[in-house]
Structure 1
Amino acid sequence: MLLRESLDLGLITYRVLATGTAQGFTQFVPSQSLAAVLSDHNNSIAQYLRQISTSDTSFAELMENYVKSCAGYCVITYILAVGDRHLDNLLLTRAGKLFHVDYGYILGNDPKPFPPPMKLCKEMAEAMMIDPSLVWYRKFRSASFMAYSILRKVDNFNLIYNLFRLMSTASSGLPDLTAEPDRALKVIEDRYRLDLTDDLAVQYLQSVISDSINALFPQVIETIHKWAQYWRS
């Protein structure tokens, strides 16, 4: 949908092969979790991108990939209300492309209390704010607004909505959809905000971005998760 509108956000797609109802294979994409990147590089994604930049792939190119892919995944996972977002299932390639894994919770279901509306933590945002002119952050917002506007087009909404409606039958085996199909479909409708004009929708998404960056409770949960991972290892 985005590429049809000439918006290339460099989104990572990986192949999946089911070998049964409860197991399968996923394609390996060389990358590091944001948790590992932050732990090894003074809590700075920008520092990591500077370190891996080369004469062939400049820091500016890496940042371009980072902000675009971040925008794409922020909007898509927001629309689909993907849950259980933490820094261990947000991955970053050496090309600077961010992508999500682990879609065990969707459409508003989340094992963690009070999740932010969008997975955009302060560390992710800080990487875009290293330039005093905020050029990278402005590019992120612009890409996010364009992606949201494209996906809100009536034909695109109808396709996504009807795909999920078809999967809401009991035979699909997707508990997040089948347990409460009306509620699940309402989540998608609410995230699209088709009641708003394009201009008002952009303002609405800006408030979602700001609220997500400034959310305090998810930072506490992230810290608890980090300690739980530490003690588990």
Structure 2
Amino acid sequence: MSVSFPDQELRRTAVQWMDTISDPELLDFLPQLVQALKYECYLDSPLVRFLLRRAIGDMRIAHYLFWLLKDTLQDSQFSGRYQHLLAGLLCCVGRGLREEFDRQCWLVTILAKVAQRVRDTSPSSRQAILREGLEEVRQFFSVSSSCRLPLNPGMLVKAVNIQSCSYFNSNAVPLKLSFQNLDPRGDNINSGDDLRQDMLTLQIIRIMNKIWIQEGLDMRMVIFRCFSTGRGRGMVEMIPQAETLRKIQGEHGVTGSFKDRPLADWLQKHNPTEDEYEKAVENFIYSCAGCCVATYILGICDRHNDNIMLKTSGHMFHIDFGKFLGHAQMFGNIKRDRAPFVFTSDMAYVINGGDKPSSRFHDFVDLCCEAYNLIRKHAHLFLNLLGLMLSCGIPELSDLDDLKYVYDALRPHESEADATMYFTRYTHTHTLLFQCLTSDRSVQAAV
């Protein structure tokens, strides 16, 4: 469905093939299909009719299609086309869903204004300004008894828990909001970062996870939702019972990030029995391996102990994907991210059960290789998904050189044995590579 295939009969046949996929599968690829609309010769095309028909039949597809189209209105070259498609969708879905979309847009606008006011004020006044702004959100819920969040149409919120709301002390000062919901959880409403890149990264990781599970390999990945609602704003689901590695290491003092025991001690504290701890370690080994493979393939950079998190159950996961496809942070002419993926000494301590190598570490490496080769079998799927997003405006995904990074990482032209040898040799050369980072950066080592 890319620009390389303009033949109308070919595109019509591709749409016919897609008609056989289920609604959940279609949701996995919806962002790419919205981008593919740019390459249609006519506004009335088989792809347009396909998407509208499937949106009429499933509210989740209608919901995400609405917000994807809203986000693409910022594309000056194609905004006219997307405006017509959005109008067509609103005509098809009916009055009830149109009113629901209006409420969501109203709520997102209020939250964006609140976030802007919090960001523009002095740090000492931010909490007071946030509480003041959230009163407007409370008034919204007094008029609209409930509203679904753009993040998830299944999440019906009825109020905002003002006392539980705060903000993050990063450059963008995103808000941390807690809504009252049938399934209570917090949602990080981020109105300062461009979440399109995070959204794409998490989509690719979610598809990787589905492939692993379909192949009978459960990597215990933590999959969370992220959705862009416009340039510089969006929503990220927060995972309960999880802390950043920085906070966990901080429990051991200012030198905690240089010690080997913090992660193991923290998991032991939350899993006091032997069986509980062993289960947590197992979750850690699998999820850590999955994260290593995913971040390696996607070239996710700027990894440090503030954007790697750990659940009390032992599941490890990454957040904040502002750098990917090998676009590393630079210190002058030197790349800060020199390791293929982050693997710290305290992670090794959990896996080995101590400070000496054990057979479990070799099992961990074998697990990484198995997960890597399962993704390699679907290399062209991931290259096509990323290729369709070349025109979406993400700065770090703008030309074929960016796609080449993933191609080189997956090595689809090689046999499984050769690719495995490359993967293990490439990562092994970084075994003794320690990056002593400044500020709050942890000491990092790569397998």
Quote the Cα distance in structure 2 between the aligned partners of 1:146 and 1:63: 19
- Decide whether the 8 Å contact of 1:80 with 1:188 is kept in 2: yes
SS of equivalent to 1:175: coil
- Decide whether the 8 Å contact of 2:329 with 2:336 is kept in 1: no
SS of equivalent to 2:353: coil
Match of 1:35 in 2: 246
Unaligned runs of 5+ in 1: 228-233
- Decide whether the 8 Å contact of 1:120 with 1:212 is kept in 2: no
* RMSD over equivalenced CA pairs, Å: 2.1
| Structure 1 stretches of at least 4 aligned residues deviating more than 4 Å after TM superposition | none
Unaligned runs of 5+ in 2: 1-210, 442-447
TM-score (norm 1): 0.86
Quote the Cα distance in structure 2 between the aligned partners of 1:32 and 1:85: 15
Alignment of 1:171-190 (within 5 A): 172-178=392-398, 181-190=399-408
- Is the aligned partner of 1:142 residue 2:366? yes
In structure 1, what residue type is equivalent to 2:388?
L
Match of 1:165 in 2: 387
Seen in structure 2, the aligned counterparts of structure 1 residues 214 and 123 have a Cα distance that, compared at 3 Å, is: farther
Match of 2:350 in 1: 127
Which one has a larger percent strand, Structure 1 or Structure 2?
Answer: 2
In structure 1, what residue type is equivalent to 2:328?
D
What is the number of equivalent residue pairs in this alignment?
A: 218
Match of 1:220 in 2: 436
Q: Which string of whole-angstrom CA distances, capped at 9 and with x for unpartnered residues, describes residues 101-138 of structure 1? A: 01111101011424111122233223222255713312
Quote the Cα distance in structure 2 between the aligned partners of 1:158 and 1:205: 19
Of 159-168 and 118-127, deviating more is 118-127
- Decide whether the 8 Å contact of 1:121 with 1:213 is kept in 2: no
- Decide whether the 8 Å contact of 2:286 with 2:367 is kept in 1: yes
**Deviation of 1:52 (Å):** 1.5
Q: Which string of whole-angstrom CA distances, capped at 9 and with x for unpartnered residues, describes residues 112-167 of structure 1? A: 424111122233223222255713312321220110010011xx111100011111
Quote the Cα distance in structure 1 between the aligned partners of 2:367 and 2:424: 12
- Is the aligned partner of 1:66 residue 2:268? no
SS of equivalent to 1:2: helix
Quote the Cα distance in structure 2 between the aligned partners of 1:126 and 1:210: 18
* Largest Rg, 1 or 2: 2
TM-score (norm 2): 0.46
Quote the Cα distance in structure 1 between the aligned partners of 2:381 and 2:291: 19
Quote the Cα distance in structure 1 between the aligned partners of 2:216 and 2:371: 11
- Is the aligned partner of 1:7 residue 2:221? no
**Deviation of 1:8 (Å):** 0.3
SS of equivalent to 2:397: helix
- Is the aligned partner of 1:151 residue 2:381? no
In structure 2, what residue type is equivalent to 1:173?
G
- Decide whether the 8 Å contact of 1:91 with 1:99 is kept in 2: yes
In structure 2, what residue type is equivalent to 1:220?
C
Identity of matched residues, %: 28
- Decide whether the 8 Å contact of 1:149 with 1:198 is kept in 2: yes
